[in-house]
Chain A
């Protein structure tokens, strides 16, 4: 294969994987605290429309990303009130949040459907970007791609090297023990859930501000759900989340290259578009096949409501 084609496949893979990394890492933090929020799809959709609208009105993609972050955090706060303060069922509330977010974003986004944002330029790292094949994909990217790596490093450090990270994990493993040694379980869960929402919002804004860059109803197209599946697939480990996200990114861009390659392969586009969803099912099967893999790695209190008794 031509080196330049390989390079552009790698490039597109990393771009496509980036929103998944951001969303899935946020989700990971929330789940580590014991909160299962299935509303990622809705929070991403809200982040996407908020980011798009604010970028269009202000001309600043960074204000757009902040707006997306705020929108995601707001949605997650709503979820947190229902499941943490009011002890609602987490599975059902997450579904409701997805339905609400997708509906609300379509509603708000209607007037924006014909608008297009100017493309945001990439940031080129001198010298490193000149490395053959991997230079362009790794070092001539959108700022958010670099930030996703910073996010990864920070989360690894936070979870495994910092005290607050230890407390967070303790809250997810055994909320009653964490409570009895004096940690505010509910407050920590609030923060973790809202962080997860903020990251979902950023992931959504990445799609509408940097990736496409336009707003179409339903543009998140299941990425929120794929991110949730990624966390399971990664058995709640950040490094595997990152690898998994790039694998999925690769599956998502395969379609563009098969069709544009002129290899004479004539597969209906819908079949190729279905690949990421089928891949999700396949990796879930592989990872769940051994019951212990999921059971031993999932935070013990995941999805369970907790109420400190006095």
Chain B
């Protein structure tokens, strides 16, 4: 009989191996899923995981998709470390995108770098404002931040829907629910001419570095880490719980808002109802798979971006709905949370004692 036995101390090896086990299980699950759908599993594997990155353009698309994920996940990780559960990054991204678009549309005729700089600021502030609502309600009224931040996702989706059907709709757009296309001065510069990869990718790498420094080299980061492990210890040490809630939520909000800006000023070039492709939720998975560590977030974002691209390929070449990406994402997180048991427990085969 299989039994779980508590390890004398948590296994370092397993804390790194567990995400790899989860990825392996996800791949096996994927092969089974393809087989179940009557598709050749190896062919499906190739279309999903190899074809998207078989040339430079594919790789650049991978980095492009990974950009918002890195930005959001590093912001969320700051809060998650202190058990501040901001799961409304999707909404914060949308509001950041709206704010940045408002700036872009206001400065339509303007030239110069100030447009983009203002868009970055507006995006960040928009996301922070949306995240400030659960932070304020949590610190002032003790309201559950999970539910509030999540409800605000739906409100943000309705808000952007209203704006692109109304005040921000392109007047010459034949009534399509989308804003005017942005001028060049409101678009992020491309990193190379033969791809869509833009400056936001560089900012995302910078954000990972800044996140690393904050988490592991700053006192506030240390306080949040302590609060995550042992809330009472943090309280005895006199660390302010309210301050951590604010930092946790606002960092996630700012980063998600910036990610929203990088979408409207990047690959989209305008505001539509579909500002986000579930990046806010996928980034939660990224943060967990990465063990809330910025280095891990880099790799987990690339993996998650690959799942997005694989889903698009599967839609194009295998006639499968693109939501297959979400299935892979959900599987990955479930498997990870399950295999994490191996960090503190080992599996042993023993006769059951009566």
Contacts and interface: CB of A to CB of B under 8 A. Distances in A.
A276 B281 CA distance: 21
Contact of A270 (B148, B162, B285, B324): B162
Given A86-B341, A281-B151, A96 B141 contact: no
B154 A277 contact: yes
Name, among A38, A99, A102, A110, the residue most crowded by chain B CB atoms within 10 Å (CB to CB).
A99
B142 interface: yes
A95 B332 CA distance: 12
Interface stretch (A1-9, A66-74, A287-295): A287-295
Contacts of B142: 288-289, 291, 294
A4 to B, nearest CB: 31
Contact of A89 (B148, B327, B337): B337
A100 B148 contact: no
A23 B331 CA distance: 24
Interface in B331-354: 331, 333-334, 337-341, 344-345
B284 to A, nearest CB: 6
Given A107-B324, A221-B154, A270-B162, A96 B333 contact: yes
Interface in B127-163: 133, 137, 141-144, 146-148, 150-152, 154-155, 158-159, 161-162
B185 interface: no
A176 B288 CA distance: 29
Given A100-B334, A110-B321, A280-B151, A95 B284 contact: yes
A107 B166 CA distance: 32
Contacts of A83: 337
Contact of A217 (B323, B334, B345): B323
A221 B158 CA distance: 12
Interface in A268-310: 268, 270-271, 273-274, 277-278, 280-281, 284-285, 288-289, 291, 294
Contacts of B137: 281, 284-285
A104 B327 contact: yes
Given A229-B147, A280-B147, A285-B141, A100 B331 contact: yes
B337 A93 contact: yes
B325 interface: yes
B81 to A, nearest CB: 13
B68 to A, nearest CB: 17
Interface in A88-136: 88-89, 91-93, 95-97, 99-104, 106-107, 110
A222 interface: yes
Contacts of B345: 87
B227 interface: no
A94 to B, nearest CB: 9
Specify the main secondary structure of chain A where it touches its partner. helix
Interface residues of B, number: 45
A100 B330 contact: yes
A106 B162 contact: no
Given A222-B151, A277-B154, A281-B137, A106 B337 contact: no
Contacts of A288: 141-144
Nearest to B37: A107
Contacts of A87: 341, 344-345
B329 interface: yes
Contacts of B146: 38, 91
Contact of B155 (A38, A91, A107, A278): A278
A229 B154 CA distance: 15
B87 interface: yes
A81 B339 CA distance: 11
Contacts of B333: 92, 95-96, 99-100
Contacts of B151: 222, 225-226, 229, 277-278, 280-281
Contacts of B148: 281, 284
Interface string B305-327: 00000000000000011011111
Contacts of A95: 87, 284, 333
B85 interface: yes
A78 interface: yes
A106 B133 CA distance: 30
Given A95-B284, A103-B323, A284 B147 contact: yes
B147 A99 contact: no
A106 B320 CA distance: 11
A284 B341 contact: no
A100 B285 CA distance: 11
Contact of A96 (B154, B159, B285): B285
Given A107-B321, A284-B143, A92 B158 contact: no
Contacts of A78: 334
A151 interface: no
A96 B155 contact: no
Contact of A103 (B161, B325, B344): B325
20 contacts: A82-B334, A82-B337, A92-B333, A93-B334, A96-B285, A99-B284, A100-B329, A103-B323, A107-B320, A268-B162, A270-B158, A274-B158, A274-B159, A281-B147, A281-B151, A284-B143, A285-B137, A288-B144, A289-B141, A291-B142
Closest 4 A/B residue pairs (Cβ):
A103-B326, A100-B330, A88-B337, A96-B333
Interface of A: 38, 42, 78, 81-83, 86-89, 91-93, 95-97, 99-104, 106-107, 110, 217, 221-222, 225-226, 228-229, 232, 268, 270-271, 273-274, 277-278, 280-281, 284-285, 288-289, 291, 294
Given A81-B338, A91-B146, 7 more contacts: A92-B288, A95-B333, A97-B334, A217-B323, A225-B147, A268-B165, A270-B161
